[in-house]
Amino acid sequence: MYQYKYQQRSLLLLLPLGLLAIVSYALDNRIPIGIGYSLQNLLLELSRNILPAFVAVTIACMIPSINRFFQLFSVGFNYTMISSVSLSLYPDLFTQPTAWVISALTATLFFLPSNEEETGESISFYQILLKACGVILIPSLTLISIMVIIRNIEHSILLTFTSVFVDSILSCLFVPIYEIMLSLGFSSLLNSLVSLQSNSHTIQAMLNSILMTNMFSLPAIIMTKAICLSNQKRLFLVFLAIITSLTSTIGSCISVELAILLFFFTNTILAISLSSIVTFFICYHLQLSTFTNFYMLYQPDLILKNLTFLHMSYSHFMVIICALILPVFIQTGLDKLIRLGSIKHRLKHKARKATCSANLTSSPDLILIALLKNLGGKSNISSVSFFNFTLEIKVYDFNVINSGQINAICGRKTYYSRSDKKIILHLQDKSQQIYIWLSNFIEASRLYNPIAVQISEPFDIHTHIKNLQEKSKVERYRLDPN
């Protein structure tokens, strides 16, 4: 159930990308569709600015929240305000909407479940006011911070990317820098560099490596990553690879796709950077001619010269094959290294806890006591079921459970469903015995009918002292002869 819901939410993220791709192809300015050119261009610009808002909303749906309605409303509201102000004040700076999506998503930080919600305590008016101010101000401050950082990077690039640097071997670093800037939506800053407006072999190698990376290497890396990951993420990456291969010329789509990889699958960005550098040296060695220039490179879309595929040579096809094969080996090697590191870390962690957990995992009695303690007691357990060495426990209050301790007890992946108040445990051969004991506890709790006991009033020391003082005063007056 947990894997199914995760796949549903992750696949929902691909729907706005697919719609953006369809609209971009349908409203392409180079293809007349029977309406005026100005109206067609206006519809295209509106779709490029509005549909990424749904990307932000679908990403927000994957983040835990204490109030889903206000979370999604705040994300949509902030995206609308940020995009409107940015287009009116800085129309040439944001060629891609990725920075707006990232800034709007910072509003979800104020809707994450906190200690107050987990313990059932009420939130004060002051805390609500702080959250409201944060939802309004933090996304705008985030966008301003991104703009300041990008402006500083732009200043550094203008000082660094001179003609001497471009003609050196260090120019291979331009391609991964361009990919990262494209993922943040600020690639237009690099397109306008004066040192890049030439027709040298280095500039042609840069352009060819960017084309090969986005059109061929990127889908190959995503597909390789899908093969190496678990089933719950594989389907999402397969569809993302298909959409990436179809939308490699659409700047807004490729920017959002790179941003997804940057924040959710970080090691793929390293694979993209390494493969782009290798592709750059191959293109530079073969001295291939290019089919675009920096003025037609993702501003906002990639535009190729006319009859591009008719002018491709044998060397171009060789580079395409290399751009498809090399990223597969690079991504596979990185995944193997990461998996080897995680295995070493896991072995060290298990060796550290071996002494403490040996008695616990060997005794079903201790496992039962630990589970009852971290599930909030037997009164918090609603029902329990058993199937194929797996326990499915439903609780009344999901906020009182200790998920960290439960993960340590089970030793394997534990699945939680907050909406269904359900926990799925894997205890291997001890699952059936634990199930029997928990079932007996639940049955005994249902049959238990305690007799009402009269509870005395709470003792107040101040009232007791006052009564004693009055009693002593009365006694003193009674014994006084006068």
For 55-109, write each residue's pLDDT tens digit.
889 888 888 888 888 889 999 999 999 988 888 888 777 778 888 898 999 999 8
**Top-confidence residue, 210 or 299:** 210
181 and 110 within one domain: no
In the predicted structure, residue 448 carries a pLDDT above the cut 70 = no
183 and 293 within one domain: yes
Q: Is residue 478 part of a domain?
A: no
Q: How confident is the model at residue 474 (pLDDT cuts 50, 70, 90)?
A: low
pLDDT given for residue 348 in this prediction: 67
Q: Is residue 41 part of a domain?
A: yes
The identity of residue 131, as a single letter, is K
CA atoms within 13 A on the CB side of 27: 21
pLDDT given for residue 361 in this prediction: 52
In the predicted structure, residue 135 carries a pLDDT above the cut 80 = yes
122 and 71 within one domain: yes
DSSP-derived 3-state class of residue 81 = helix
335 and 427 within one domain: no
Q: Is residue 474 part of a domain?
A: no
Calpha distance 370→364 (Å, rounded): 10
199 and 76 within one domain: no
Q: Is residue 468 part of a domain?
A: no
The order of strands in the sheet holding 415-417 is 381-387, 390-395, 422-426, 415-417
CB 237 within 8 A of CB 223: yes
Number of domains in the chain: 3
Mean pLDDT of 251-262: 86
Question: Which residues on adjacent β-strands are paired with residue 429?
Answer: none
The rounded mean pLDDT for the chain is 79
Which tens digits make up the pLDDT trace of 70-84? 889 999 999 999 988
Last residue of a domain, one of 135, 160, 185: 160
Mean pLDDT of 449-478: 66
Q: Is residue 14 part of a domain?
A: yes
91 and 76 within one domain: yes
Last residue of a domain, one of 142, 160, 178: 160
**Top-confidence residue, 455 or 312:** 312
Which tens digits make up the pLDDT trace of 310-369? 677 888 888 889 989 998 999 888 888 888 877 777 766 665 554 444 444 557 777 788
190 and 138 within one domain: no
For helices 174-184 and 125-160, the axis angle rounded to 10 degrees is 150
CB 283 within 8 A of CB 208: yes
Which tens digits make up the pLDDT trace of 385-430? 887 778 888 888 887 888 777 777 776 667 787 777 888 887 777 7
pLDDT given for residue 351 in this prediction: 53
165 and 65 within one domain: no
Q: Phi/psi of residue 448, each to 5°?
A: -75, 125
Residues in the chain, overall count: 482
Q: Is residue 455 part of a domain?
A: no
pLDDT given for residue 220 in this prediction: 92
Last residue of a domain, one of 138, 160, 182: 160
pLDDT given for residue 77 in this prediction: 92
Q: Is residue 475 part of a domain?
A: no
pLDDT given for residue 355 in this prediction: 40
350 and 208 within one domain: yes
**Is the CA virtual torsion 210, 212, 218, 221 positive or negative?**
negative
Parent domain of 109: 1-160
pLDDT given for residue 78 in this prediction: 92
**Is the CA virtual torsion 401, 403, 406, 408 positive or negative?**
negative
Which tens digits make up the pLDDT trace of 288-310? 888 787 778 888 788 887 656 66
CATH number for the domain that contains residue 428: 3.30.1360.60
**Is the CA virtual torsion 93, 17, 137, 178 positive or negative?**
negative
String of b and e for 271-305 (b: at least 16 CB within 10 Å)?
bbbbbbbbbbebbbebebebbbbbeebbbbbbeee
Mean pLDDT of 266-283: 89
Q: Is residue 459 part of a domain?
A: no
82 and 15 within one domain: yes
DSSP-derived 3-state class of residue 113 = coil
122 and 208 within one domain: no
427 and 320 within one domain: no
Q: How confident is the model at residue 116 (pLDDT cuts 50, 70, 90)?
A: very low
